[in-house]
Amino acid sequence: MLKINRLREFLAETKSAIAGINFAELVIDDSQFIKFLKDRKESDNCFLIGVVPQFPLTGSEDKYKWNNQLQFFILKKRSDRITHDEILLNMQATQDLVNDFVELLLGDNVGEAGTFCGLPNELSPGSLLVYPVWEKAQCDGWTIEIDLLTIA
């Protein structure tokens, strides 16, 4: 099971490693998510938000593993009044950051016999998902979801 403090460190390390991410935070739920983003300004762009994961147990008998269900957002804040073309430009700007994030995540950290936040892990097949987010707390961007299995 991934430790909360180590996940916070990972977000800070990622913020330092990827130029263009200027704010990183770990949140527990949607109300915290909205609160943190409400306090941000457009000039603070772009944001990396991690969500405290769920940890269902999978397997049987002596082969139990934690399924660390991770979710991250890479977002860009915008004004209230924005055109469709401006939304698409925000999506494009954050898409490049998502590419960098996924490369960093997969490069040395996850997969068979990989380590993520200090834990040996394996990527749950087909679990890496990237999908668009728009008009969430005045932000546009992307959600990245990934399931990592770790020994129980």
**Domain locations in the chain?**
4-151
pLDDT on residue 24: 94
Hey, how many other C-beta atoms are within 10 angstroms of the C-beta on 51?
20
DSSP reduced 3-state for 100: helix
The two tokens of residue 116 are 């993520």
Cα–Cα distances (Å) from 52 to 20, 70, 90, 96, 126, in that order, read: 23, 7, 25, 24, 21
**Is the domain 4-151 a CATH 3.30.43 member?**
no
pLDDT by 10-residue block (mean), the chain, 152 residues: 85 94 92 86 88 78 80 89 86 93 76 58 78 89 88 70
Dihedral sign (CA 139, 19, 130, 10) = negative
Q: Can you name the residues that pair with 77 across neighbouring β-strands?
A: 139
Largest CA distance in the chain: 56
Dihedral sign (CA 97, 99, 100, 105) = positive
CA dihedral 118, 146, 86, 42 (to 10 degrees): -30
Predicted model pTM = 0.86
